[in-house]
Amino acid sequence: MDRPIIGQCHAAGHLIPIELIAFVAAVGAGGFGALIGIGGGVILVPLLTVGLGVDIKLAIAASLLGVIATSASAAASYLERGLADRRLGLTLLVASAIGGILGGYLAGLLDGRTISVLFGILLFAVAIQMLLGRNRPSAEIVDLPSRLEFDSSYFEPTTDRAVAFRTRRVGHGALLSVLAGSVSGLLGVGGGVVNVPTMNLLMGVPIRVAMTTSTYMLGATAAASAVLYYSRGQIDPLLVGPVVLGVFVGARAGARLATRLPQHLLSLVFVGVALLFGAQMLVRGLGAP
């Protein structure tokens, strides 16, 4: 089995254990992942691979376990505050878990450079979609929901107002959740990079609810594909330990901060980070061997 570089690195004339660097990176990734509902893998995988030289498949496996920790840490808080839509999450969860198994299987067939390129392309596509749709107003509810629609509401913490919304195109959303799960298993990003824009842009769910509901779904989706990485011997305890602990700590802080930030700011942060790390992963995948 390929192993990540676990040891020490030089910084400011001192030797810093790689495990400590991975822990600190995971705290930031977990906080951001819980904040915008993507699980932290969009930050953690590039940091581990580009920054620390970890083999990408080992980084993805560690990220998936970190995604599970993000969901476990943050989802309970979101559900308690009524910010995550349990019905919507359960509706999409089965499809997402099926996709997670498919993505985990495909990851065993592709080389690391190909996965890096796919990661970068995905992030650019998602960022553009979110940027184009972030100012689109929610559709008004003027009739009864159809068979594949349902009405919900949540309490927006930044305005102290109840917000009603209708979840539309549930069938289309379920199909795209299979893709989200596949992305999660293949790239270790938790599926939120697909689920959040799917719920927000396609299904008409407010961005805050899309992000919190995505966090609620992340754990089961990541677990479905993590089993396959484990079966291939791609989970390294020396890397996974500090990553999971750091993500868990960061996700709790991110869940608290999420309720204090306006929705348009969350969208912009999502777009900016996706573009930044998308560029880094493309450079890594297309660069010289």
Reported as a single tens digit per residue, the pLDDT across 99-142 is 888 888 887 787 767 877 887 887 788 788 777 765 555 555 54
- What interhelical angle do 18-36 and 56-80 show, nearest 10? 40
Note the pLDDT of residue 127: 80
pLDDT tens string 6-20:
444 444 444 567 778
If 0-12 CB within 10 Å is exposed, 13-18 middle and 19+ buried, where does residue 265 land? exposed
In a domain, 72, yes or no: yes
> E strands of 108-264, at which residues?
150-156, 161-167
Beta bridge partners of 152: 165
Give the residue numbers spanning the domain of 91.
10-286
pLDDT band at 288 (very low <50, low <70, confident <90, very high): low
The answer to whether residue 116 is domain-embedded is yes
Please provide the average confidence, as pLDDT, over all residues in the chain: 78
Distance spanning both ends of the chain, measured CA to CA: 20
Q: 3 lies in a domain?
A: no
Least confident of 46-55, 143-152, 229-238: 143-152
User: So what's the pLDDT on residue 136?
Assistant: 57
Contacts with 173 (C-beta within 8 Å, 6 or more apart), sequence order: 91, 92, 167, 198, 199, 202, 203
Domain membership of residue 2 (yes or no) is no
Residue 158 is assigned to a structural domain of this protein? yes
Residue 234 has pLDDT above 50, yes or no: yes
Judge whether 187 lies within some domain.
Answer: yes
Please state the domain count of the chain. Answer: 1
* 40 belongs to a structural domain: yes
**Helix, strand or coil, per DSSP, at residue 150:** strand
Report the pLDDT value the prediction gives residue 134, as an integer from 0 to 100.
59
> Does the pLDDT of residue 273 top 80, yes or no?
no
- Which of 37-46, 167-176, 235-244 bottoms out in mean pLDDT, i.e. has the lowest? 37-46
